[in-house]
Amino acid sequence: MAQITNREIQQAGRLDSAEAFMALRERILAASDPNRTEIIVCHGTGCLANGSVKVAEALQAAVKAADLDIKVTGCHGFCSRGPLVVVRPSGLFYQRVKPADAEDILQSVLEGGQPVERLLYHDPNTDQALPQEKDIPFYSHQMRIVLRNIGKIDPTDIGDTIAHGGYLALAKALYQMSPEQVVAEVERSGLRGRGGAGFPTGRKWKSALAAIKKKGYPAYVVVNGDEGDPGAFMDRTIMEGDPHAVLEGLILGAYALGAHQGFMYVRAEYPVAIKHLNIAMEQARALGLLGQNILGSGFDFDVQINRGAGAFVCGESTALFTSIEGRAGEPKPKYVRSVEEGLWGRPTVLNNVETWANVPQIIEKGGEWYAGLGVPHSTGTKVFSLVGKVNNVGLVEVPMGTPLASIVEDLGGGVPGGAPFKAVQTGGPSGGCLPYDMREVPVDFDSLTRAGSMMGSGGMIVMDKRDCVVDVARYFLRFLEEESCGKCIPCRLGLTRMREILDGFSQGIGSEKDIDDLVSLAAAIQDGALCALGGSAPNPVLTTLQYFKDEYLAHIKDKRCPAGVCKDLISYSIDPDKCTGCMTCARQCPQKAIAGEKKKPHVINQELCIRCGICMESCKFGAVNVA
């Protein structure tokens, strides 16, 4: 934490030049001791849910006498090991910390202290303790550009952000670069939109410049923070953990495009993100980094937050604009691009949170530097949320082009139990399902599209042999059916009808003609739907059909669900050779469907069984089978 307090920084008032900004930065750096010990407690969603607030309080209470700081930061990413505590500058990493561990942690960081063995990360394969964050594979395989400061800075402290390089790019751009040079630098970087479609950001900005020139209006700049894919939390983490990076990116974009008003559209389900962004805006205004005459350059720009109202479709650009304009969030056909006619018919540049957050470093270090990361047509890094049947659930940032297998296995630690993964759903509900055979596919925009999937916003859901592809396709369809705005017929009616056909499959009802119908209807929806929600909704069905057709056929021809998921097609049984007669399953069964005496094999009454699978989960001897 910067040793100059927030209040002192705010008292500096509005800075009126780049020199004044640099002088403030020098003061902050001079006042802070880089060797001072900080105990950092992750306050990302996963850690919060596991009680990290109490951990931070306990540490705060324990620390009283000692001369060190407790700092609360955004998400460190390693969610499955939370609550996380990291000691800096040493890099000592503690996982699954409880409030009761506070005293031991404190002792360990004091002079001559030893690491608390029980809280260290142990490699699951070798059981070797890895006390340093940088040695843990989950972190060592990452390249953190967008996430560089998350987990290091206090997101509510602008001084801490400035000490870690925040607003350096803005000071540079305002005084050393023309707006055209900023656009050119972004274009040189090869940055492509991180929200899903992957449109080149520099090219978008350039077309906006042309439209502004033609029409004579200034543009609006907008942040799309309406992240809604199931299992995705990249943008949330950035907004919560480093809100100034998003804000600085937006101000840079506004400067490049001559915009004076910006909007941040953030979904209402992200209250912490909204709070942190509001704090960031307030602090930036107080320092003259936002508002009128930014850093004395004569450039005026301000921004407001618009909260979403719970509609997934409002992440779609035209629906988002309609929502900001105060009408029901429904998309419009976009035969005129939003860089020409966007918000209120004005030229508008809408970029995703992660895209904006990349901009400051591109300006600071140069487009050339950024273009050197990743692969030629997908430069830079991408943040992914790695969830599902994977050991290390969490948030990772890797260079574009990293093979799928490397993300799932090296960073993710593979599937629990060590079996190979079955498939990975990339790109959220509009993406596709890639099988194990495709594990070497480089994760970049074009390779994923060629494989039938898409980058999307960066959700990555890992599945193992206990996941049924029919069930997965149904799940995503049901999600989009519920989120369809209902304006156009192909999406409103088509998704329900596709789902009904899949419902039939999951009950063993259907024929190969139904599969053909499904594909034909999917094509009609892809071609006919108004917006990308409907247009991409059939993707999970089509990719699972492409790669797992046998599994579909098993459902409708053999009336069998190979993964043991679809309830109408499965039955549970107890292997009498393995059953020890411990009674655990019989006690847990909500239907009292399991009969048997102590120390004698149990039997499941199929009439009563509702196939919930609790017996299988509760059996310690692997005696319950599903088929």
Partner 1 sequence: MINMVIDGRQVQAQTGWTVLETARQNGIHIPTLCHHEAVEPSGACRLCVVEIGDETWSKIVISCMYPVAEGLNVKTDSPRVKNVRRWILEMLLAQCPASPEIRALAAEYGVQTTRFVNHDPNEQCILCGLCVRVCKEVVGVSAISTIGRGVHKKIGSPYGVVSDACVACGSCVTVCPTGAMSARLDAIRGVHAGREAGKGGK
d(CA 451, CA 294) in angstroms, rounded, equals: 46
Nearest to 484 by CA among 495, 473, 474: 495
Q: Which residue in the set 285, 337, 465, 492 belongs to the binding site for partner 1 (CB under 8 A)?
A: 492
d(CA 537, CA 476) in angstroms, rounded, equals: 8
Q: Which C-beta is closer to partner 1: that of 322 or that of 402? A: 322
Q: Which C-beta is closer to partner 1: that of 33 or that of 335? A: 335
Residue 390 tokens read as: 């994977």
Q: Which C-beta is closer to partner 1: that of 318 or that of 392? A: 318
Closest separation in Å from C-beta 188 to partner 1:
29
Residue found under tokens 């449109």: 199
Residue 179 backbone zone (phi > 0: left; psi -120 to 50: alpha; other: beta): alpha
Q: Which C-beta is closer to partner 1: that of 54 or that of 497? A: 497
Nearest to 360 by CA among 250, 439, 209: 250
Closest separation in Å from C-beta 547 to partner 1:
24
For the residues of 429-452, what is the DSSP string, one character each? Answer: GGSEEEEGGGTT-EESHHHHHHTT
Q: Which residue in the set 53, 120, 371, 493 belongs to the binding site for partner 1 (CB under 8 A)?
A: 493
Is 486 a binder of partner 1 (CB under 8 A)?
Answer: yes
Closest separation in Å from C-beta 279 to partner 1:
33
Q: Which residue in the set 99, 243, 459, 490 belongs to the binding site for partner 1 (CB under 8 A)?
A: 490
Closest separation in Å from C-beta 523 to partner 1:
6
Closest separation in Å from C-beta 267 to partner 1:
15
Site string for partner 1, 265-304 (x = CB under 8 A): ----------------------------------------
Stretch that binds partner 1, among 109-117, 288-296, 388-396, 488-496 (CB under 8 A): 488-496
**Residue 89: is the preceding peptide bond cis (ω within 30°)?**
yes
d(CA 493, CA 608) in angstroms, rounded, equals: 36
Is 319 a binder of partner 1 (CB under 8 A)?
Answer: no
Site string for partner 1, 440-469 (x = CB under 8 A): ------------------------------
Q: Which residue in the set 483, 579, 611, 623 belongs to the binding site for partner 1 (CB under 8 A)?
A: 483
Query: How far is C-alpha 533 from the geometric centre of its chain's CA atoms?
Result: 19
Closest separation in Å from C-beta 316 to partner 1:
13
* Count of C-beta atoms within a 10 Å radius of residue 592: 10
User: 30 to each of 4, 6, 27, 48, 220, how far by Cα in Å?
Assistant: 9, 15, 5, 33, 38
Q: Which residue in the set 35, 335, 607, 620 belongs to the binding site for partner 1 (CB under 8 A)?
A: 335
Closest separation in Å from C-beta 486 to partner 1:
4
* Residues in binding contact with partner 1, number by CB under 8 A: 32
Q: Rounded to the nearest 10 degrees, what angle do helices 512-528 and 489-506 cross at?
A: 160
Closest separation in Å from C-beta 545 to partner 1:
17
Is 228 a binder of partner 1 (CB under 8 A)?
Answer: no
Residue 436 tokens read as: 């194990």
Closest separation in Å from C-beta 118 to partner 1:
50
Nearest to 50 by CA among 39, 59, 41, 40: 41
Is 333 a binder of partner 1 (CB under 8 A)?
Answer: yes
Q: Rounded to the nearest 10 degrees, what angle do helices 168-176 and 18-31 cross at?
A: 160
Element (H, E) at 549: helix 549-556
**What is the DSSP code (8-state) at residue 497?**
H
Closest separation in Å from C-beta 469 to partner 1:
23
Closest separation in Å from C-beta 215 to partner 1:
17
Stretch that binds partner 1, among 84-92, 105-113, 258-266, 476-484 (CB under 8 A): 476-484
d(CA 389, CA 437) in angstroms, rounded, equals: 17
The gap between the terminal CA atoms of the chain, to the nearest Å, is: 56
Is 488 a binder of partner 1 (CB under 8 A)?
Answer: yes
Q: Which residue in the set 377, 497, 560, 567 belongs to the binding site for partner 1 (CB under 8 A)?
A: 497
Is 627 a binder of partner 1 (CB under 8 A)?
Answer: no
Is 401 a binder of partner 1 (CB under 8 A)?
Answer: no
Nearest to 440 by CA among 483, 401, 473, 394: 401
d(CA 404, CA 372) in angstroms, rounded, equals: 20
Q: Which C-beta is closer to partner 1: that of 238 or that of 488? A: 488
Closest separation in Å from C-beta 521 to partner 1:
5
Closest separation in Å from C-beta 337 to partner 1:
12
User: 614 to each of 17, 367, 468, 589, how far by Cα in Å?
Assistant: 65, 54, 18, 7
Q: Phi and psi of 86, rounded to 5°? A: -125, 140
Q: Which residues pair with 381 in a beta bridge?
A: 399
Q: Which residue in the set 482, 512, 568, 617 belongs to the binding site for partner 1 (CB under 8 A)?
A: 482
Is 328 a binder of partner 1 (CB under 8 A)?
Answer: yes
Site string for partner 1, 336-375 (x = CB under 8 A): x---------------------------------------
Q: Which residue in the set 485, 532, 563, 593 belongs to the binding site for partner 1 (CB under 8 A)?
A: 485
User: 225 to each of 147, 167, 273, 313, 357, how far by Cα in Å?
Assistant: 16, 21, 9, 12, 12
Q: Which residue in the set 141, 144, 487, 560 belongs to the binding site for partner 1 (CB under 8 A)?
A: 487
Q: Which residue in the set 23, 489, 610, 627 belongs to the binding site for partner 1 (CB under 8 A)?
A: 489
Residue 167 tokens read as: 């607003």
d(CA 399, CA 443) in angstroms, rounded, equals: 9
d(CA 562, CA 141) in angstroms, rounded, equals: 35
**What is the DSSP code (8-state) at residue 269?**
T
Q: Which residue in the set 101, 185, 235, 481 belongs to the binding site for partner 1 (CB under 8 A)?
A: 481
Site for partner 1, residues 513 to 532, rule: CB under 8 A: 517, 520-521, 523-525, 527-530
Question: Which residues contribute to the site for partner 1 (CB under 8 A)?
Answer: 311, 328, 332-333, 335-336, 481-490, 492-494, 496-497, 500, 517, 520-521, 523-525, 527-530
